Structure 1
Amino acid sequence: MNFPSPHARVLPHQIPLGKPPESRGTEEAKQLNCIQGSLLGLAVGDALGASVEFRPHQYLVVHPVKKMQSGGTWGLKAGQWTDDTSMALCLASSLLTMKTFDPYNQMVRYKWWYKHGFLSATGHCFDIGSTTRQSLDLFCHRQKELMKVLSLRNENDVDKLSIIDVKSRQPTFDVNCSKPGKAGNGALMRLAPVPLFYFRNPPLAVEYSGASARVTHGDKKAVDACRYYGALIVAAIRGEPFENLTNKSFYTEHKDWFGSDDLHEEVLRIAAGSYQKNDGYDKGIRGKGYVIDALEAALWAFWKYKGSFKDGVLAAINLGDDTDTTAAIYGQLAGAYYGADNIPADWVDKLYAKELIRDIGSWLHYEGDSFMLENNQPKESSHQQVHSTDKHPNNHNASESMSTVMTSSQFPNSDSHNTTYPAYDPSIQQQAPKQSNTPLNISKHSNDPSLSNPSSTNSQNLHNNPKSNSDQIGKSEWG
């Protein structure tokens, strides 16, 4: 699968991604609805929260968010999203292009967003967290050193490498670029594509959820927050009931998904139900940039407002502070549980590049299944405790059918990888399970006309805003 080159400056709503072959059967349609729901939920939460990012709780008590609206720190149009969605789409584009988990390629794509505005709603990087920025700066430095060692002539050559290429030619290269003790929410906010791709193999999904954090956020709290939340997203897609997802014994009952590496004690505290407080804000629930706060806040909104994506996401936002990220984290799990069809249609209609996001969800579902088949991975139909489907909100067929596979001719300058890589070596990345990858070519497009030129006014606003320079400001000390 090919996404446009970052140098082409193609905006997300202009990307002709298209759809994979049609899903087969009722169960697959339900899974697809959950996967699309998780990505749309992330983006909807991000866009809803963007207009009041950094506003304190006290302000939102008086002026609560109730609808998709414009404005805020970044001067966005209603429905445009921030770094949370951009980085999630970068992660998804890596999984789909490489057809495997490749942390080096993930960092390349995050760098493209940082340096070139790749998959940004405005065409420019903005709202980048300080921890993420520091990690990407270090990655850029390490890439330059790698170019010297490998005698590569330009940045494009080093960007085309896979983690297998890098490790086979420079075994000491470290793709994990986080400084010690970085436990912000910047990895958790982008997590969803990993469990969406690997949900058919829960242990693999949990392992890679953690590995996806390490490249920028190496603290065990950040890694384990992603492992735990990844497991919840997997369970939601696989049809587990609300009572299972919010059960204080979820972790122990799914311990086989987590292997021998126990969760950090602060994540264990959340898994044991620390977020289950009726008076959330008054009892210490905070929408902050610290990953433990962010995880607890998202789960509080999910637990407190059972049965309503809308009520939960608004509650997450109206906690205040890092509003877009708290809501984006909430949206990943809530969207996976409720499904795309249960996210308010008027919000989805206003969402920038909604068709691209929906199509990426379709491809994650399709390619995840292809990965399982091609690598002879065990594909479990359900967890032993999964409920009957009539108790789950996603008990209907997906509303959209999908068309045929396409060629990649529309993107002659795309980021395609025409190499079939060997199996992923578990020694390369924190004992990650083995994988392999093969290329896929597509082309047919479905553009989103909701914003004909989303960057025309906002890009100028961002350049004129001294806070908008990604080298000068971070989302917070945590992000």
Structure 2
Amino acid sequence: MQQQITGAFYGIAIGDALGVPVEFKTRSYLSENPIAALTGYGCWNQPAGTFSDDSSLTFCTAESLLTGYDIVAMAQTFVRWAQQGYWGAHNEVFDIGHTTRRALQRVATGTSPDISGGFEEFENGNGALMRMMPVAFFLIKENDIHRRYLLVKEISGITHQHFRSVLGCFIYVEFLRALLSSGNLQEAYQQMQRTINAYVNTQSFNPAEIKIYERVLLQNIATLREQQIYSSGYVVHTLESSLWCLLNTSDYRTCVLRAVNLGGDTDTTGAVAGAAAGLHYGIDNIASEWIQQVAKSTEIGQLANRFMAAINTTSTQ
């Protein structure tokens, strides 16, 4: 599992960093000026290899899980990032989503993380989905799907409490768990569909909300054409585009470059796809120059090692 954890940790940071300079660029622009390497400056004026809030909050999530699960401690780690740049690529915050910012301001002023997250329909950006990768590893030994769902719901809810965001996070976590036990992408995807659909049928969730994920849960997202895939910051779009990129490529590099060159919310699509691709293909499939170039490269490797040790000794019990 060390290959998968280290691959996922570097995978998210590199996918994120590839997308940072071209965030908000259109697909047509990137089709003419495709990203093929880690580049610098661009829209955020950051040096090459700089990752964004996507990876920072993922690493904060992983670090808070090192000593077991504590939602208050996790939320406080997020506040430390927002206020002090903790786990920032260069120890500062240059990008933060509106819903996440508002939620962490609430936590910082004493609101419980149980009720801090945005719960309105318009607060369904991808700010919780982007940081879920460590949760999948943490839950690898938890066999009770309802407990897995409740934990994902709580972690998402620090910033994003709406059911649509929670379900998107849950689908992604279950897909990553399936990837850990199956070396075949399509098999893991189908396993996730069976698991989620069976669980959803036992719950009294809003059917209209479930239907929003129909392309992921009931169809095969991989068979859609690129023109049918959207890459905005909306949680549904990020989940769909990330899965589509992973299922339609056969190595880490091609996956993350496909994700970033979709345009739109390039850093988060790159991050979410990159975490999954890094997990699936392992660290040895990621170019060594990218590993060396990404910000905080040594610290990321150390965190991955500490996280691997921690999940071998702790569980969700």
- Given the two structures, how large is their TM-score scaled by the length of structure 2? 0.90
Residue type at the aligned position of 1:265: K
Aligned position for 1:211: 154
Partner residue in 2 for 1:177 = 116
Match of 2:219 among 265, 273, 289: 273
1:101 aligns with: 69
For 2:219 and 2:257, the matched residues in 1 are separated by 21
Q: Residue 325 of structure 1 corresponds to which residue in structure 2?
A: 268
What amino acid maps onto 1:188 in structure 2? L
What whole-Å deviation, never above 9, does each CA across 1:228-269 have from its counterpart, x for those lacking one? Answer: 11011112122342221232x632256677794468332343
Mapped pair 1:66 → 2:12: no
Where in structure 2 are the equivalents of 1:246-325 lying within 5 Å? 246-247=189-190, 250-253=192-195, 260-261=202-203, 264-273=210-219, 275-280=221-226, 282-283=227-228, 285-305=229-249, 307-325=250-268
Contact 1:195–1:205 under 8 Å retained in 2: no
Q: 2:139 corresponds to which letter in structure 1? A: Y
Which amino acid letter does the alignment assign opposite residue 250 of structure 1? M
Could you tell me which runs of 5 or more consecutive residues in structure 2 were left unpaired when the two chains were aligned.
Answer: none
C-alpha separation between the residues in 1 aligned to 2:184 and 2:90? 38
> What is the alpha-carbon distance in structure 1 between the residues aligned to residue 166 and residue 96 of structure 2?
19
Structure 1 residue 141, shift from structure 2 partner: 2.5
2:128 is aligned to 187
**1:47-446 mapped onto 2 (5 Å cutoff):** 47-96=17-66, 99-142=67-110, 173=112, 175-181=114-120, 182-202=123-143, 203=145, 204-247=147-190, 250-253=192-195, 260-261=202-203, 264-273=210-219, 275-280=221-226, 282-283=227-228, 285-305=229-249, 307-372=250-315, 435=317
The code of the aligned residue for 2:282 comes to G
Q: For residues 151-171 of structure 1, what are the alpha-carbon distances to aligned partners after superposition, in whole Å with 9 as ceiling and x for unaligned? A: xxxxxxxxxxxxxxxxxxxxx
Report the aligned-residue RMSD.
2.1
Quick one: distance in 2 between partners of 1:238 and 1:78? 34
Question: Contact 1:54/1:321 (CA < 8 Å) preserved in 2?
Answer: yes
Distance 1:177 1:222 in 2: 14
Letter in 1 for 2:9: L
Aligned partners of 1:206 and 1:228 also within 8 Å: no
1:287 partner amino acid: S
- Gapped runs of 5+ residues in structure 1? 1-30, 144-172, 373-433, 436-479
Aligned pairs, number? 309
**Does the CA contact (< 8 Å) of 1:205 and 1:234 recur in 2?**
no
CA distance in 1, matches of 2:134, 2:201: 21
What secondary structure sits across from 1:300 in the alignment? helix
User: Between the two proteins, what is the percent identity of the paired residues?
Assistant: 28
Shift of 1:205: 4.5
Question: Retained in 1: the 8 A contact 2:182–2:188?
Answer: no
Amino acid at match of 1:102: D
Call closer, same or farther: CA 1:259–1:106 in 2, change over 3 Å: farther
Contact 1:44 1:351 in 2 (8 A): yes
Change in 2 beyond 3 A, CA 1:42/1:137: same
**Structure 1 or 2: more helix by fraction:** 2
